[in-house]
Copies of this chain bind each other. A is one copy, B any other.
Amino acid sequence: LTRTTIKDVSDAAGVSIKTVSRVLNKEKYVSEDTRLRVEAAVARLNYHPSLAARTLAGRRSFQIGLIHDNPNPYYIYNMQAGVGARCREAGFRMIVQPCDIHSPALIDDIGSLIDQAQLDGIILTPPVADAAPALEELERRRIPFVRVQPGTDLTATSSSFIDNVQAADDMTAYLIGLGHRRIGLVMGHANYVASGQRLTGYRQALQRAGIGFDPVLVQAGQFDLQSGSAAAEALLALDRPPTAIFASSDEMAAGVLATAHRLGIAVPGMLSVAGFDDTDLAQVVWPPLTTIRQPIRALGYAAADLLLAFDERIERRRLDHELIVRASTAPPGGG
């Protein structure tokens, strides 16, 4: 029970080891005829190169890391699906690593991962994408990295993002267009820059419509069901409760719905509820919910694509499957 090696393939194809390696790595200067013979031998022997040997001998490990500190299963699942899909296309492997952005061991954890696995690149999802110590460490090591939806220090780093300010503005304007004047906002987790961006968009739309900003209509939240539920309770208990509630995530929107139902408030008859469809949850929980689609999976795909583009040998893919996603090496124009 011994392993099939490149030697077996070269023997079978009647060429040298190095030539097989050339074919495997899609290098130039291999005659069409030779290439076909080698590929046939590879298929016939069902040969799969040892990643360990490639990593040790070569300059690349064909592995990238996905670092997150995010307790939202939907987000993680979809992000992994997106990054994983692009990796598979390019023959790379994705190494998923949870972390704690507040731990003093953060940069050690990331550093040892890079050292041990010889990662070719790193993807940072929020809120790690804004963890300055981690970013500094990656810069110092000169390892390619891409940040997903970063909120700070946008200069000179690659990132894939969605324009949260614009999206929140759009949604708020939509609610205003329905005739609402008192619109509650359930904010996201304070760790996430997206939370602030969504607040900015909300205020922006109110101002444009000449509606005064009322702080009592803004409730804190943590992006999860429970906090959405609690926030709705507070909002609906006000002397002058809102006629519409805009939640900064779909999980919180679901929480708002749960509270509304418990209080006997009909949705959307007596109360309009809107949210960001970060996780595809909203559509399932309550189809008539008004949502802004946030394609997490596409964000992940775009991030991986951007990262793999550092390696010019990887074929570049067109990113047109989700128009809302923009992959860029520069900060967004609109803010």
Contacts and interface: CB of A to CB of B under 8 A. Distances in A.
Given A78-B73, A96-B80, A116 B50 contact: yes
Interface string A36-68: 000000000010111111011000010000000
Contacts of A55: 50, 52
Contacts of A118: 50-52
A178 interface: no
A52 B56 contact: yes
Nearest to A49: B116
A50 B113 CA distance: 10
A270 interface: no
Interface string A1-12: 101100000000
A87 to B, nearest CB: 11
Contact of A284 (B49, B224, B284): B224
A103 interface: no
Contacts of A61: 52
A110 to B, nearest CB: 11
A206 interface: no
A48 B116 contact: yes
This chain's copy number in the assembly: 2
Contacts of A284: 224-226
Nearest to A284: B225
A316 interface: no
A77 interface: yes
A61 B56 CA distance: 13
A53 B54 CA distance: 10
Contacts of A254: 285
A73 B84 contact: no
A116 B254 CA distance: 43
A74 to B, nearest CB: 5
Interface centre among A46, A116, A226 (most CB of B within 10 A): A116
Give the most central of A77, A81, A95, A261: most B CB within 10 Å. A77
B285 A117 contact: no
Interface in A225-267: 225-226, 254, 258, 261
Given A73-B77, A76-B77, A94-B96, 19 more contacts: A3-B115, A48-B111, A50-B55, A50-B56, A51-B117, A51-B118, A52-B53, A52-B56, A52-B117, A56-B56, A73-B73, A73-B74, A73-B76, A73-B78, A84-B96, A95-B95, A224-B284, A225-B284, A225-B285
22 contacts: A3-B115, A46-B111, A49-B116, A50-B56, A50-B115, A50-B118, A51-B116, A52-B55, A52-B56, A52-B61, A52-B117, A52-B118, A53-B56, A73-B74, A73-B76, A81-B98, A93-B95, A224-B284, A225-B284, A225-B285, A226-B284, A254-B285
Interface of A: 1, 3-4, 46, 48-53, 55-56, 61, 73-74, 76-78, 80-81, 84, 93-96, 98, 111-112, 115-118, 142, 224-226, 254, 258, 261, 279, 284-286
